[in-house]
Structure 1
Amino acid sequence: MQQVIKRSDVPQENRWRLEDILGSQAEWEKEYTLVHQLVEKMKQYQGKLSDVQTLKACFELEDDISLHTERLYVYANMRHHEDTAAPQPLALAEKSKKLSVTVGEALSFITPEILSLSDEQLDKMIQEAALEPYRFTLIEMKRQKAHILSKAEEALLAQVGNLSKGPESIYSMINNADMKFPKIKNEAGEEVELTHGRYSQFLESRDRGVRERAFEAVYGTYRKQRNTIAATLSANVTKNLFYAKARKYPSALEMSLFGDNIPKEVYTNLIATVHKHLPLMHRYMKLRTKLLKVDKLHMYDLSAPIVDEFDMKIPYDEAKKITKESLKPLGENYLNVLQDGYDNSWIDVYENEGKRTGAYSWGAYGTHPYVLLNHKDNLNSMFTLTHEMGHALHTYFSDNNLRYRDAQYPIFLAEVASTLNEALLMDYLLKKTTDPKEKMYLLAYYVDQYRTTVFRQTMFAEFEMIMHERAEQGEALTAQVLSEIYYELSKKYYGDDMVVDQDIEMEWARIPHFYTSFYVYKYATGFSAAQSFSKQILEEGQPAVERYLGFLKSGGSDYPINILKKAGVDMSTAAPIEEAMSILESLIEEMEQTAAK
């Protein structure tokens, strides 16, 4: 077991260069003082935003304050992530959080004041040449206006805000703090305590008995808490219904889609199209049964490895090379920026003592993006590298082609570029391999991504929709009702060729995403959009690449559906999901052919 090194011992070439944002702590403090001065300056605009020139100056100052605050916040937090135990970066990170709150309060008068203008005044502002850089901001504010209440009502809703966090906080305490799982026997026959983290490891065990014991122990534990957890989930749904009614939305679903201006059809099309292609999932379940050499597939067999011991060792330098090679279809310009990221310290590569776990891409407008990794020399880490560089290059192209205000892309678009990179990497690896074992390993890896990202997340999305519809019709969401809905959906999604164990009816109780309602569908739409892009790029070549680069350069300058549509992916239709499904079908066919050899 390799020793984890201290931050101070990490070689320079494996670190990111945060000095590109701010050169030193003294520079950070100087900028921090500047933000406080700018915040003071903002006060002069309060109550005067009906004048065009004043509004323009106010918006310009708002951008200036936001940009400096972002730089301070990102720099401090990324320094903290290098070594979470180091006291000085932690203090800076805390200081930057407090500054963000102060800034948020100082800027909070702008939107309500603009919305207090009449529709005629707002329309006039939207047409003003002087306000052209802020046209989309004003159009968006006007769209929101119908759902903004009077000053007194808004103040009341703001106070309810703390109460509304109750269901999620209570669930989090039950799930993370109070709930204790029993001990189970591992592969070696030793008694080991089951935890959230170990559960997924146990489900990937080659020992079927271990998988079954873990599955039954987890859901048996949730079953004991079913009435309490049903009450927290039901309270969360009630909260959504309250806000939807208060803010005059037709339903809780439409309220949640309104922010990104997503038509309801995008949500319902996703569910309907996935339903149409459920036979593909059932076909994969049949194949899984055969490959695992079991009579009947159970729910606890879904993550079991179907290829005997197989380990792809890929050192970091090789991962960079393979990744770059696989992204060749995106053209010279894209590859040059990628290489720039590799060569110029965008990436913090390996684990060190105290470093934040996981991986992400982040940065501040005006400097290049950054990527945090905890690289291990395996396939998963190579996919993480290409995924995070997809985010980074999306940010790079947006930032370099748009003003600060328009560059930030919404969550609905966020996973497209990263997942497209993964799709191109997978296509490259599958075309290159000659080893049937490696091929099967790659195919299973990819098909399982479809299972977890498209089918499973769509099933979650459907569960949320049914649950809210039932509540809107006045039905009580008891543990029994929730379990019945969930079990029926599980049978529908996984099919008759496997055993849908009764225990799975409790799975709704362990999904924290259900407390951020109507969010999970974005995983499925993002994945589908990326597959659609990859298919077009690989089949059409240059015209599709140009459209895709146009997408990367669009940031958040328009509504997400419009940005994707211009690039050739229309998420208001079923076409991108159909394209993703045709790719899945060919992957399953390849798996079947490889298995038959």
Structure 2
Amino acid sequence: MDSKNLKTRNQIDNKYKWNIEAMISDESIIDGALEDIEKQAGEYAKAYGGRLTSDAATLLSAFKERDSIWRELEKIYVYARMRRDEDNSDSRYQAMSSKCNAVIAAVSAALAFFTPELLSASEDDVMGFVDKEPGLEEYRFAIKDTFRQKAHILSQPEENIMAQMSEVTGATNDIFTMLNNADMKFPEITDEDGDKVAVTHGNYITFMESHDRGVRKAAYEAMYDPYKSLINTIATCYNYNTKSDVINARIRKYESARAAALSGDNIPGEVYDNLVNVVNKNLPTMHRYVELRKEMLGLDKMYMYDMYVPLIQLPKKQVPYEEGLDIMRAGLSPLGQEYIDRMNEGISQGWIDVYENKGKTSGAYSFGSYDSYPYILLNYTDTLKDVFTIVHEMGHSMHSSYTRQYQPYIYGSHSIFTAEVASTVNESLLMRYLLDKETDLEMRRYLLNMHLEEFRTTLFRQTMFAEFEDMTHRAIESGQVLTADSMCQQYEELNAKYYGTAVEKDDTIKYEWARIPHFYNAFYVYKYATGYSAATAISNKILTDGEPARKAYIEFLKTGESDYPIQLLKIAGVDMSSPEPVEKAMETFNSLLDEFEKLV
């Protein structure tokens, strides 16, 4: 894919586009379907309001119909969002996505009586229904979990208001998405070949990995200049996003926004704190790695734009998409033939949207509804790093594939806490495969450096992000206002703490917080770091213990949300309520750094 001449959507070969038509082949049905769903939700409220827990049969019927409404709406919403992500400048799908959001808000409001009314009944009585009615057994865990959160559920009228307000309170995320993907324009730079190229979200990291320092510096400044010019607008957007988190948490009687965010997965606050504390204790090892980077690059002064360039320069080698798929198949072979066959079928069915085009959402993700393929969005640029991205997202999609086969709709999704494990196990297995078969000393150095970078960018950097989120939410909770200056200062200090004295201060990195989309989904990023820690442990088990560990892991992939994440991970042999997995991951980082230092 030639990143210098970004194509429009219709210039991309169809074989490199996802088969989204398999989801909804005729868009003309969507408006009518949305109207029907909204009507069904209104009728549902009339049919079950006031009599939800009158008997076991009524409760079962109410659960089934509620699932049916959400299942159909989810499918249309996911379709609209994915179509919008193909080209964010396409107003047709902007409008379709907005209409879905409006219907979601209306349905949420109509169904808002469900949980308060369920909780108004005695837990013993409701569980008695479950014991008596076999059909309700499927909902046992969901019902128990609802009663667990009883203290944070509002009255029926209040829940109705909160549901109606959801369309407004989610606006900051949509505003930032449009700003970041559709409206923001980045300057051109001169690349290594002397050509003028516009910087994009998709090609930025490729530029940052350039061995031409001038290209790195130019790309760094080109990426951040638009954020600098809009910093007060973005700060205002994020300030109100954070305020929404805090206000919602207070309304629902949580002790903090963080506690509210962790409550859904029943994650103890200690898990978050353990992560931050263990990583902070190991920052000297991170600083040692950064010092080595400075030394190997031969720099008198090192800046943040020097942090991504591989320390080992290899001849330029492109990894075409089809070759990347072959590498993935080989790297994931320890997961068994059935896993590989399922994955190959998905590729042939059209799960993957491969290349960047104008207006396409940046980055990569796995997405889909319960009844669709588990689609993958990529912005593939023919690098080895892109192969790791495919492997990562395929981990998510395979997790979804197993879960949707073995779990009912109500448990057919995943918490991010477990989802990030599935993606990162794949990455860990691929890295071990590449290292194990590598005999060329220079390539081995390259891969070790790449592995160290994964630790830096996932375990260390995401934990730094987690600290920043904690700081900003605590600031709002203590009555402060998040200004551009205050957030830039906090972020600059955090960055200095994590990277140490080997990195020079500049006037740019303090704006990095302003371009992180995940900050609009509160207390999300820490799960990348915990997931990376758990995945490191699981992949080691699969490679050392063989078949028993592989089977246990596949069983974990089938569980969806049928229990709390901490419990589900124990199926795969990891206990995240303890600091041990993070400590073990840090030991792995330290041993990788030891080997790397010896080889260089």
User: Shorter chain as normaliser: what TM range?
Assistant: 0.7 to 0.9
- The offset of 1:425, in angstroms, is 0.9
Partner SS, residue 499 of structure 1: coil
Structure 2: stretches of 5+ with no match in the other structure: none
Query: What is residue 59 of structure 1 aligned with on the other side?
Result: 63
**Structure 1 residues 227 and 79 mapped into 2: Cα distance closer, same or farther (>3 Å)?**
closer
Whole-angstrom CA distance in 2 between matches of 1:566 and 1:68: 31
Query: Which of 385, 388, 397 lines up with 2:390 in the alignment?
Result: 385
Q: Residue 436 in 1 paired to residue 430 in 2?
A: no
> Hey, what's the Cα distance between the residues in 1 that align with 2:493 and 2:213?
25
Q: State the 1:327 CA deviation.
A: 1.3
Deviations 1:318-357 (A, max 9, x none): 3222211211211232223223324444445566898776
1:489 paired residue among 477, 487, 494 = 494
Alpha-carbon separation, structure 2, partners of 1:252 and 1:492: 25
Judge which range, 96-105 or 451-460, deviates more: 96-105
Answer yes or no: is the 8 Å Cα contact 1:487–1:502 preserved in 2. no
The 3-state SS of whatever aligns with 1:361 is strand
Q: Which 10-residue stretch deviates more, 88-97 or 472-481? A: 88-97
1:144-192 CA-partner distances (Å, limit 9, x unpaired): 2211233454455557656655766787798789989889887799999
Q: Is the 8 A contact 2:367 2:376 kept in 1?
A: yes
Residues 201 and 362 of structure 2 are in contact (CA less than 8 Å); yes or no, is this contact kept in structure 1? Answer: no
Q: Secondary structure at the match of 1:307?
A: coil
**One-letter identity of the residue aligned with 2:250:** K
Q: TM-score, normalised by structure 2?
A: 0.83
Report deviation, 1:496: 2.9
Change (3 A) 1:501 1:435: same
Match of 1:517 in 2: 522
CA distance in 2, matches of 1:82, 1:229: 24
- Which of 365, 372, 385 is 2:370 aligned to? 365
Could you say if the C-alpha distance between residues 491 and 117 of structure 1 is closer, same or farther in structure 2, counting changes exceeding 3 Å?
Answer: same
2:283 to 278, 295, 298: 278
- Deviation of 1:299 after TM superposition, in Å, equals 2.4
Query: 1:219-277 deviations in whole A, cap 9, x for unaligned?
Result: 78867877776666555544444333332212222122112211001100000111122
* Cα distance change on mapping 1:462 and 1:123 into 2, 3 Å: same
In 2, Cα distance between equivalents of 1:169 and 1:6 = 22
1:48 maps to 2:51:
yes
Correspondence 1:402 to 2:401: no
Question: Compared with structure 1, are the counterparts of its residues 539 and 119 closer, same or farther at alpha carbon in structure 2 (3 Å cutoff)?
Answer: same
- Which residue matches 2:574? 569
Which residues of structure 1 form unaligned runs of 5+?
A: none
CA distance in 2, matches of 1:369, 1:555: 14
Provide closer, same or farther for how the CA distance between residues 318 and 229 of structure 1 changes in structure 2, counting only shifts above 3 A: closer
Counterparts of residues 186-585 of structure 1 (less than 5 Å): 203-209=208-214, 211-212=216-217, 233-308=238-313, 310-349=315-354, 359-366=364-371, 368-373=373-378, 375-473=380-478, 481-501=486-506, 504-585=509-590
SS in 1 for 2:411: helix
Q: 1:206/1:566 Cα in 2 relative to 1: closer, same or farther (>3 Å)? A: same
- C-alpha distance in structure 2 between counterparts of 1:181 and 1:23, whole Å: 36
1:10–1:352 Cα contact (<8 Å) kept: no
Cα distance in 2, alignment partners of residues 134 and 477 from structure 1: 42
CA contact (8 A) 2:556 2:572 kept: yes
Letter in 2 for 1:62: R
Given that 1:39 and 1:103 are in contact with CA atoms closer than 8 Å, whether structure 2 keeps it comes out as: yes
Give the Cα separation in 1 of the matches to 2:31 and 2:174.
35
- SS of 1:448's equivalent? helix
Tell me if the contact between 1:285 and 1:297 (Cα under 8 Å) persists in the aligned partners.
no
2:501 counterpart letter in structure 1: D
Residue 231 to residue 553, structure 1, CA distance change in 2 (3 Å):
closer
- Distance change >3 Å, CA 358–CA 198, structure 1 → 2: closer
TM-fit CA distance, 1:492: 2.2
Q: Deviations over 1:196-215 (max 9, x none)?
A: 77865664443435545665
2:393 and 2:344 map into 1 onto residues whose CA distance is 14
Tell me the matched-pair count: 594
Letter of the 1:48 counterpart: R
Which residue, 107, 111, 127 being the options, matches 2:111?
107
CA deviation after TM superposition for structure 1 residue 132, in Å: 1.2
The 1:483/1:282 distance shift into structure 2, 3 A limit, reads same
Identity %: 44
- Paired residue secondary structure (1:394): helix
| Equivalent of residue 141 in structure 2, options 131, 136, 139 | 136
SS at match of 2:444: helix
For residues 348 and 184 of structure 1, what CA distance do their matches in structure 2 show? 27
* Cα 1:497/1:87, change in 2 over 3 Å: closer
Contact 1:273 1:578 in 2 (8 A): yes
CA distance in 2, matches of 1:220, 1:403: 48
Q: Which amino acid aligns with 1:416?
A: V
**Is 190-199 or 34-43 further displaced after alignment?**
190-199
SS at match of 1:250: coil
8 Å CA contact 1:126, 1:139 repeated in 2: no
Let me know the Cα RMSD of the aligned residues: 4.3
| Aligned-partner residue type, residue 498 of structure 1 | V
* Alpha-carbon separation, structure 2, partners of 1:77 and 1:440: 41
Residues 128/265 of structure 1: CA separation in 2 closer, same or farther (3 Å cut): farther
Point out the more displaced range, 111-120 or 230-239: 230-239
| TM-superposed deviation, 1:376 | 4.5
Distance 1:221 1:147, change over 3 A: same
Structure 1 residue 440: deviation in Å?
3.1
- Indicate if the aligned counterparts of 1:204 and 1:303 stay in contact, CA closer than 8 A: yes
Q: Which amino acid is 2:537 matched to?
A: S
C-alpha change, 1:374 and 1:219, in structure 2 (3 Å) is closer
Distance in structure 2 (CA, Å) of the matches to 1:246 and 1:510:
29
Residues 182 and 236 (structure 1 numbering): CA distance in 2 closer, same or farther, change over 3 Å? same
Distance in 2 (alpha carbons) for counterparts of 1:254 and 1:517: 11
Is contact 2:117-2:156 (8 Å) kept? no
Structural mapping, 1:142-153, within 5 Å: 142-153=147-158
Deviates more, 1:69-78 or 1:263-272: 69-78
* 2:414 aligned counterpart, secondary structure: coil
Tell me the TM-score normalised to structure 1 length: 0.83
How far off its partner does 1:490 sit?
2.4
In the aligned structure 2, how far is the partner of 1:492 from the partner of 1:545? Answer: 39
Contact 2:109 2:160 in 1 (8 A): no
C-alpha contact 2:9 2:86 (8 A) present in aligned 1 = no
Describe the SS at the equivalent of 2:366.
strand
**CA distance in structure 2 between the partners assigned to 1:191 and 1:336 by the alignment:** 43
CA contact 2:153–2:252 (8 Å) conserved in 1:
yes
- Cα 1:133–1:590, aligned 2, differ >3 Å: closer, same or farther? same
Q: What SS does structure 2 have at the residue aligned with 1:262?
A: coil
